[in-house]
Amino acid sequence: MMWKKIEEVLLGKAKDPLDVSTFEQISLIAFLAWVGLGADGLSSSAYGPEEAFIALGHNKYLALYLVIATAVTIFTISYSYNQVIDLFPHGGGGYMVVSKLLGRDWGLVCGSALVIDYILTVSISVAAGVDAVFSFLPIAWLGYKINVGMVCIGMLIWLNMRGLKESIKILVPIFLTFVGTHLVMIVMGLVIRGPEIPTMLQTTATETNNFVNNQGLGPLFILLLTAYSMGGGTYTGIEAVSNGLNQLREPRVQTGKLTMIYMALSLAIAAGGILFLYVLWDIGHVAGKTMNAVLISKIFGELRPWSIPLADSIILITLLSEGLLLFVAAQTGFIGGPNIISNMAADSWMPSRFANLSVRLVRQNGVIFVGGAALAILWYTQGNVTTLVVFYAINVSITFTVSLLAMVKHWWQVRNEAKGWLTSLAINGLGVILTSTILVTTTVMKFHDGAWVTLFITGSFIALCYVINAHYRNVKLALRRLDDLLGDLPIYDMLPETPLRPQPEGPTAVLLVKEYGGLGIHAIFSIMRLFRGQKFKNFLFVSVGQIDAPSFTDLEEIGRLRARIEKNLDSYVDLAQRMGYYTERHYSLGTDRAAELEKICSGIATNFVDPVFFCGKLIFAEESSWTAFLHNQTPMEIQRRLMFAGLNTMVVPVRVL
């Protein structure tokens, strides 16, 4: 009891998934979605442009070409994902579109890359945020960066265990401060150095000609391609809206598209503007500082000769907002990661427990998984942003390339029905070319600098998913054989002529069931065989419709869940009546199956004098921690709870051969 109170204080009160207002309480309007989902993309302007600019070396004037390429890439990918939102209005994003259009295996590749991508979102955002904050702290303090980063991830795990909207509301002031200060910085930078822009453009043309004359067009193309690819981290987060669409306020499609517009414009202005200002203000590397920190100090430092006393405070606030926004961006990983994992769990690629919602309607297992993996990667890389950018660019490019390729296939398939299909196909095709270029170039150029590590991690994750899926597939085949054997037995064809009356004083069997099929019928026959000498007078069936992540999208989906539960229970009731028993059905909907079953069973015990409760449990030839992890232990937990309440409970074994 005391633990429950402590849990409520730390994580917040439980939410009712059947309350209409709950969807409003936890869903996001476009502005909050821009904060929670768009912060990842916008914050990438803190490290994406810098990595691209550094890759140019001394040829900094070539960065102007990257400004154009960056803007084109952002709008191309954003337009493509707007189409994904139209095609899959219930969320799932790239994973869903690839699974449907290119097949389950390609869907797994996309989903796995997305999961690793969201884990890296947390790691790189926190690492870059710590770098930004430490840019205005003494160099002697740099040794504490990794520890600060670990603590920050721990705090974000705690925030997300409380619930989505609560965590985002806390982060809104940080987001707005970043947007305001950086917009002022870009405008000031352009106004103050505006007269120098024509000269800068002329210098760029001259330097380009000199480079081609001295080294050739090929080396120029390779240099720009390398720099463009190293800035691949700039485009991360664009896919977040389509993946997390089921967490947006209705009408979701319109909310999602509006959020995408906010994201595309803000990212193009921020990333393109900062890259442009690097050249205009002649920014170079300074030890212990990010290039953004140098740029911010230079531009706002112009206020000092005007005797504006707040100049240093403005610099500090801007740097601090940049660092803190990166922590906001890490929030995207905790929203998108568990979403994708729950979708993959529904498709049996991940353990089924990852589809569960906590009583606060949070994908708690997914939050812990993403947070724990992010901590491990941050520790492995020691918070090195350059290494993390390589990891990041590869995984996000895999996701983009496969997703946009699926959209190309879609437009080709509907070319005879859809208007404007050729334009859409061309834009999606351009996106495939751009993102695959980033993927191939980064992999080849940075293979020994970390690219092989992220390929190994992603490949290992895919292999693990195949192993998990093979286990579930084998279990389903075994249960299907049981269905074939028992599901269509031609027994008890006649219903009793007069309805049977309940006998509350007589022995009562209460069977806890899920789907109607061989598993439940096997349990009925097992009970009859075990209790040959005792004739049950009543046979009751109890079920709980577990509201998990895939089903918690809207009230209509919950209504469909309720209908499925009623249909399954009606089938059991019909069978038991044909067998000559008085029978009833009882069910409820909720996120905690064990707790809901306990409530129902306790109520039954007050109406029937001698009930015995039965729940089935899959038994494998070789039990291990692996099978225990892949299959929930709800039957054992229910037995413990009911026996503690003084109710006779038995677990009926169902062998999986």
pLDDT of 201 reads 93
The strand order across the sheet containing 582-590 reads 582-590, 538-546, 507-512, 610-620, 648-656
The two beta strands, 582-590 and 538-546, are: parallel
> Average pLDDT in the 108-132 region?
91
**Tell me, what's the pLDDT at 27?**
44
pLDDT digits (tens, 9 = 90+) for 329-362: 887 788 778 878 888 887 889 988 776 554 344 4
Work out the number of other CB atoms within 10 angstroms of the CB of residue 91.
24
Phi, psi of 251 (to 5 degrees): -75, 120
The predicted model gives 244-268 an average pLDDT of 80
CA distance 81 to 455: 25
For residue 45, the model assigns a pLDDT of 87
The three-state secondary structure class of 307 is coil
Which percentage of the chain shows pLDDT scores above 70?
Answer: 84
603 vs 656, higher pLDDT: 603
> Is the pLDDT assigned to residue 165 strictly greater than 70?
no
Q: Six-digit token pair at 650?
A: 């038995």
Query: What is the pTM (predicted TM-score) of this model?
Result: 0.78
Q: Which of 235, 234, 204 is nearest to 220 (CA)?
A: 204
Look at the alpha carbons of 606, 610, 616, 617 in this order and tell me if their dihedral is positive or negative. positive
| Residue type at 53 in one-letter notation | F
H or E stretch including 544? Answer: strand 538-546
Number of other residues whose CB lies within 10 A of the CB of residue 5: 9
Higher confidence at residue 274 or residue 531? Answer: 274
pLDDT of res. 73: 94
Distance CA 575, CA 388 (A): 59
Give the residue with greater pLDDT, 439 vs 249.
439
Most confident listed range (161-165, 177-181, 522-526, 632-636) = 177-181
Q: Please check whether residue 48 is in contact with residue 271, taking contact to mean a CB–CB distance below 8 angstroms.
A: yes
Write down the CATH number for the domain with range 507-656: 3.40.50.620
Structure-model confidence comparison of residues 452 and 304, the more confident one: 452
- The per-residue pLDDT for 156 is 87
Give the lowest-confidence range in 173-187, 285-299, 321-335, 402-416.
Answer: 321-335
Q: How confident is the model at residue 284 (pLDDT cuts 50, 70, 90)?
A: confident
Instruction: Report long-range pairs for 310-316 (Cβ below 8 Å, ≥24 apart).
Output: 314/181, 315/136, 316/136
Helix (H, G, I), strand (E, B) or coil at 504: coil
Per-residue pLDDT band for 626 (boundaries 50, 70, 90) equals confident
Distance between CA atoms of residues 196 and 417, nearest Å: 52
Sequence-distant (6+) residues with CB within 8 A of 590 are 17, 544, 545, 546, 547, 596
3-state helix, strand, coil in the chain (%, to 5): 70, 5, 20
pLDDT, greater one: 398 or 32:
398
**Which two tokens mark 90?**
């219930």
Beta bridge partners of 145: none
* Average pLDDT taken over every residue of the chain: 82
pLDDT value of position 362: 43
If one counts every other C-beta atom within 10 angstroms of the C-beta of residue 364, the result is 20
> Is residue 15 scored above 80 in pLDDT?
no
The pLDDT value given to residue 90:
67
Residue ranges of the alpha helices (H) in 88-163?
Answer: 93-101, 104-134, 145-162
Residue range 175-185: mean pLDDT, rounded: 91
Domain boundaries, the chain: 2-468, 507-656
Phi and psi dihedrals of 334, rounded to 5?
-80, -15
pLDDT at 496 over 70: no
Whole-angstrom Cα distance, residue 413 to residue 410? 5
Tell me what pLDDT residue 359 has.
39
Of 503, 573, 498, nearest in space to 538 by CA: 503
Q: What are 361-370's pLDDT values in tens digits?
A: 446 788 889 9
Q: What is the DSSP string of 438-450?
A: HHHHHHHHTGGGT
In a 3-state reduction of DSSP, which class is residue 439? helix
Strand partners, 539: 509, 583
Would you identify the CATH topology of the domain 2-468? Amino acid/polyamine transporter I (1.20.1740)
Of the two residues 614 and 309, the one the predictor is more confident about is 614
Per-residue pLDDT at 556 exceeds 50: yes
CA angle, residues 344, 347, 352, in degrees to nearest 5: 75
Cβ pair 586, 570 in contact under 8 A? no
Between the two ends of the chain, the Cα-to-Cα distance in Å is: 41
More confident residue, 475 or 224: 224
pLDDT of residue 486: 63
Comparison of pLDDT for 542 and 522, the residue scoring more: 542
C-alpha of 281 from chain center = 38
Confidence of residue 530 (pLDDT cuts 50, 70, 90): confident
Residue 163: what pLDDT?
60
- Indicate the DSSP class of residue 349: S
Radius of gyration, alpha carbons of the chain: 29
- 295 or 307, which is more confident: 295
Distances (CA, A) of 462 to 95, 107, 341, 541: 13, 11, 13, 39
Q: Which of 192, 235, 184 is nearest to 78 (CA)?
A: 235
Among the residue ranges 318-327, 439-448, 453-462, 541-550, the one predicted with the least confidence is 541-550
pLDDT band at residue 569, thresholds of 50, 70 and 90?
Answer: very high
pLDDT at 255: 81
Count of beta carbons in the 10 Å neighbourhood of residue 570: 13
DSSP secondary structure letter of residue 290: -
For residue 498, what pLDDT band results from cuts at 50, 70 and 90? Answer: low
CA 113 to chain centre: 11
Give burial (CB, 10 Å; 0-12/13-18/19+) of 127: buried
Collect all residues with Cβ–Cβ distance below 8 Å to 231 and sequence separation of at least 6: 48, 49, 51, 52, 55, 66, 70
Q: How far apart are CA 593 and CA 656, in angstroms?
A: 23
DSSP conformational letter for 194: G
CA 489 to chain centre: 44
**Quick one: tokens of 314?**
């403005």
In the beta sheet, which residues pair with residue 650? 614
| Dihedral sign computed on CA atoms, order 351, 381, 389, 144 | positive
